[in-house]
Structure 1
Amino acid sequence: MLEEEYQTRRVLPPHLRKPAPEEAPFSYSIREAVPEDLPHVREIYNYYVTNSTVTFDDKPMTLRAWRTKYDHIRKAKMPFLVAESPNGQILGYTLVSPWSAKAGYRYTVENSIYLGPAATGKGLGTPLLEVLLDKCREAGIREVIAVIADQGAEASIRMHEKLGFKEVGRMGRVGFKFGRWLGTVTMQKSLRGKR
């Protein structure tokens, strides 16, 4: 057909157009992790191992390693939480682990939080970390430390600041990944008293 044979496409006025289907709202529930969640947790974590510098691990973690970590956290009576979609998909997880094996540090932990790629930027990180902090208070934990990469983790730093974490130190060029040197930002939140 020649161009002049095309008819101009008629566009219906807005009141006659069929409305676009509404996207379902992003929803989730937060609960304690169970052993059946570990393959999903591993998948989320290993995404960051292979695609980012937010963790300095450079080899994917095995399911066996995650089971050992899970058992260690449970034995220490520390929180390990997952965020789950209404259809059962694990969207992210957060946990704390002992800051040090020395007895004097028993009230201090290091937190970790990772969201699946499809769940980032949707407002899940802050409530997930808030619930973790509440569970830490219930467990008698006094201090929470976050060690965050100084490059590529700006959203994590902002989220921790929003929840009252304060920067307490920086270390430069302590990690090496993807052919470059990386540093860390250490943040701390005291759980004594009010939120």
Structure 2
Amino acid sequence: MSDAFPLTLRPCRADDLPAIQAIYAEAVRFGTASFELDPPDLAEMQARWQKVVTAGFPYLVALRQGEVVGYAYAGAYRPRPAYRGTVENSVYVAPAAQGLGVGRALIRALIAECTAAGFRQMVAVIGDSANAASIGLHRAMGFEPVGTLHSVGWKHGRWLDSVLMQRPLGPGDDTPFEG
């Protein structure tokens, strides 16, 4: 980000959700990061946000000049209790702000918050093995590829892969999990 337009990160508030819904709708309509076919409306995005924050997971926004230019959150990787030390991340950046360090700042902050909360692993499920930007971003933030699910989604008239990446948080799997 340019010094002329510093980036501010903070927890998401309800009044951020229209901008988040617009960012996500663009990604759903034109991208392959999400395997949703129809953008959720604002009420659905509010319900999703509420579910994440009520469960105690971080949900962050990035602002430039007071405008939401990206968001990221962590949620339960899977619902069964044995997975409770693992989170899955999601990060979306407005098209005009892509490539400016917004995603990197959001993931860095999300990693810090999840580590402070005691989580031990973070998983990224990246839509489309051709999504070089997201794969490269996650790799730069310490994620390692752990697998590819080939042709598991059909969107925009073609089969898409899911790329799985993972990074340890805090002590990772070096010590027992007490959470």
Same fold (TM over 0.5): yes
CA shift for structure 1 position 24: 7.4
* Aligned partner of 1:35 among 4, 10, 14: 14
Q: Verify the 8 A CA contact 2:129 2:163 in the aligned structure 1.
A: no
Letter of the aligned partner of 2:63 in structure 1? E
TM-score, normalisation: structure 2: 0.91
Aligned partners of 1:129 and 1:58: how far apart in 2? 25
Q: Which residues in structure 2 correspond to 1:79-94 (within 5 Å)? A: 79-86=58-65, 88-94=66-72
The structure 1 residue matched to 2:78, chosen from 100, 111, 114, is: 100
Structure with larger Rg: 1
Query: How many residues are paired up?
Result: 171
Contact map agreement 1:53 1:151 (CA 8 A) in 2: no
Instruction: Report the TM-score when normalising by structure 1.
Output: 0.83
Distance 1:75 1:103 in 2: 17
Secondary structure of 1:56's counterpart equals coil
Give the unaligned 5+ runs of structure 1: 1-22
In terms of fraction of residues, the more strand-rich structure is: 2
Identity %: 37
- CA–CA separation in structure 1 for the residues paired with 2:128 and 2:46: 29
Runs of 4+ in 1 over 3 A off after TM superposition: none
- Alpha-carbon contact 1:96-1:109 (below 8 Å) kept: yes
| Residue identity opposite 2:141 in structure 1 | L
Paired with 2:118 and 2:47, the residues of 1 have a C-alpha distance of 23
Q: Distance in 2 between matches of 1:76 and 1:126?
A: 24
Larger mean CA deviation between 59-68 and 185-194 belongs to 185-194
CA distance in 2 between counterparts of 1:161 and 1:110 reads: 15
Structure 1 residues 9-38: Cα deviation after superposition (integer angstroms, max 9, x where no partner) = xxxxxxxxxxxxxx9733210000011111
CA displacement at 1:192 relative to structure 2? 2.5
